[in-house]
Structure 1
């Protein structure tokens, strides 16, 4: 046994997500960062590498250089996989090149700017047999996994209705000029893609609903808002959902909801009971039943499934949150990759994959198209 060797694209010292990925990937001691192309110039990359105690010769000026030079190293030294933590428009090319050169991939969401790019990556993954993880980190939360298991085991009965919201207020709290300096690429279609809040937080809501219910959004009707001067991309929206299991649903997303921080809340209603999970109180899963009192589940409490208890690191009463959930995505990926390296069998991998990445981009395209058609119904599979 050895640690898995990770190379990183993006994630310089001033990057929030780069730091999150480094901390999350290292939390279980299964992965080590060995190289990177962290910034747009080799000088900045070497500054980042120095701060991270990496050897200078493994701090590269571009992802192309990193992939090609790492490939030349002996198998026992080269990186095992690439983590991509760049803005949206810089996901596809490094992911494609990594797969073409034999490296597994972990990528931030949304996976690509276009559905065509997403399907190219899916085809490459299927052809090469390489692993691809998408960091929809909220599915790594213990209580989300408890919710998913309860639905899968039939505890809630037939799923009839879902409600999900992801509300933030950071755009409303900043002037347009100030916002443009802090996160300019999120307001630029060339860098963010055709979706604004849809891509940033809507894809999390879409993925969470599908993960918990085991059903996909097949069709949606979207009414999107573009609030603020010169706003091109959506930063607000309400959607009606039709699920593959026959359930109906609603979704509300916004980054203009004054006072909200990360109000991601999902509710699932079945014929026997319902559940509610709130990301800002993530260690509690509230369930309500047709024939018994309300229950609140916690990660180390009674009636928790063993597969859920296995991913909870600390005793009940000590809150686990964002980083731990993120780390569970890396742990699921790492366990799968270790099994591949050691030629050991593994049960169904427990992390979002390239297929979820395709669905996420289709969700964005369907919502934008529906909004153009005055909130008419649009099928995700039409893209």
Structure 2
């Protein structure tokens, strides 16, 4: 056994997500960052490397240089996988080149700008047999996994209704100057055709699909572009239908004044219901017909044994964003270890390239529906 070697694309000095990925990957001691192409120039990349105490020879000026030079190193030295933490428009090319040159991939969401690009990455992953993880980190939370297990086991009966929302308010302060917040988020050539849809809507979509173990089959979307000159959505309401006939609704917004990171989901079945809130992530509220509300906590009563293994701290202690993020890396790393040993794993528990395709199809279907006065639209058609 040895540590898995990670190379990073993006995540230079001042990058929030770069720091999150590095902390999450390191939390279980199984992954080591050994190099990267952290910025747009070699000088900036090396400056980031120095701040992380890395060998400057492995801090590259571009992802192309990193992939080609790492490929030339002996198997015992080269990186095992590439982590991509760049803005949306810089996901596709590094992911494609990494797969083409034999490297496994971890990528931020959304996976690509277009459905065509997403399907190209999916085909490459299938052809090469390489692993691909998408960091929808909220599905790494222990109580989210408990909710999924309860639904899969039929504890709350057949699913009949799903409600989800993801509300933030950080864009409301500068509605007339949204380009100054993060220029690429207001630019369709860099963010893609979805604004809040891509940033937070894909998280809600993946959470719904993960917890219910079902796909969304149709979407009717009414999107808002609030603020002068706004071209991408920053608010929206969606209705959706699921593969078993259940109906649902989703609300997303980044101009909801006063909200910080309010991601929540409610699933209603024929025997009971579950409620989970990201801002109170160690509590899963469960209501069965004719019984008082029950509150499940990590390592508490009624938790499935495989879920206890996901929780990292004793009950009653805070556990949240970073730990859930780390579970994605841990499960990916465990799967990668088995692949390196030429073994198989039954079903990896982390978002994969398939989730990446589903996420981009969700964005396209919602935008198309909105263009057609909230007409019902099938994500699979894109």
Deviations 1:264-310 (A, max 9, x none): 01000000000000000000000011132210000110110111100
Match of 2:225 in 1: 226
Q: What is the distance in 2 between the residues matched to 1:128 and 1:284?
A: 40
Task: Say yes or no: does 1:148 pair with 2:148.
Answer: yes
Q: What is the distance in 2 between the residues matched to 1:307 and 1:173?
A: 43
Task: Say yes or no: does 1:176 pair with 2:159.
Answer: no
Match of 2:102 in 1: 102
Match of 2:93 in 1: 93
Deviations 1:163-193 (A, max 9, x none): 000000001123533x423311000000000
Match of 2:261 in 1: 262
Match of 2:358 in 1: 359
- Aligned pairs for 1:110-259 (under 5 A) are 110-177=110-177, 179-259=178-258
C-alpha contact 2:195 2:232 (8 A) present in aligned 1: yes
C-alpha RMSD over aligned residues: 0.7
TM-score by length of 1: 0.99
Q: What is the distance in 2 between the residues matched to 1:231 and 1:182?
A: 13
Deviation at 1:348, TM superposition (A): 1.0
C-alpha contact 2:5 2:32 (8 A) present in aligned 1: yes
Q: What is the distance in 2 between the residues matched to 1:307 and 1:291?
A: 28
Match of 1:23 in 2: 23
Q: What is the distance in 2 between the residues matched to 1:168 and 1:174?
A: 14
Match of 2:36 in 1: 36
C-alpha contact 2:217 2:243 (8 A) present in aligned 1: yes
Deviations 1:208-228 (A, max 9, x none): 000000111110000000000
Match of 2:82 in 1: 82
Q: What is the distance in 2 between the residues matched to 1:344 and 1:311?
A: 22
SS in structure 2 at match of 1:173: helix
Q: What is the distance in 2 between the residues matched to 1:111 and 1:175?
A: 27
SS in structure 2 at match of 1:336: helix
Unaligned runs of 5+ in 2: none
Deviation at 1:346, TM superposition (A): 2.0
Deviation at 1:345, TM superposition (A): 3.4
Q: What is the distance in 2 between the residues matched to 1:347 and 1:310?
A: 18
Deviation at 1:156, TM superposition (A): 0.6
SS in structure 2 at match of 1:220: strand
Match of 1:9 in 2: 9
Q: Which moved more, 1:286-295 or 1:30-39?
A: 286-295
Q: What is the distance in 1 between the residues matched to 2:149 and 2:82?
A: 30
Q: 1:175 to 1:235 in 2, by over 3 A?
A: closer
- Aligned pairs for 1:276-291 (under 5 A) are 276-291=275-290
Match of 2:332 in 1: 333
SS in structure 1 at match of 2:260: coil
- Aligned pairs for 1:277-316 (under 5 A) are 277-316=276-315
Deviations 1:129-167 (A, max 9, x none): 000000000000000000000000000100000000000
Q: What is the distance in 2 between the residues matched to 1:176 and 1:95?
A: 35
Q: What is the distance in 2 between the residues matched to 1:381 and 1:345?
A: 29
Deviation at 1:381, TM superposition (A): 1.1
Q: What is the distance in 2 between the residues matched to 1:195 and 1:69?
A: 35
Q: What is the distance in 2 between the residues matched to 1:97 and 1:245?
A: 38
Unaligned runs of 5+ in 1: none
Q: What is the distance in 2 between the residues matched to 1:302 and 1:257?
A: 36
Deviations 1:59-115 (A, max 9, x none): 000000000000000000000000000000000000000000000000000000000
Deviation at 1:344, TM superposition (A): 3.0
Deviations 1:24-50 (A, max 9, x none): 000000000001000000000000000
Deviation at 1:13, TM superposition (A): 1.3
SS in structure 2 at match of 1:174: helix
Q: What is the distance in 1 between the residues matched to 2:15 and 2:244?
A: 40
Q: What is the distance in 2 between the residues matched to 1:327 and 1:296?
A: 24
Q: What is the distance in 1 between the residues matched to 2:158 and 2:345?
A: 30
Q: What is the distance in 1 between the residues matched to 2:317 and 2:287?
A: 24
Match of 2:349 in 1: 350
TM-score by length of 2: 0.99
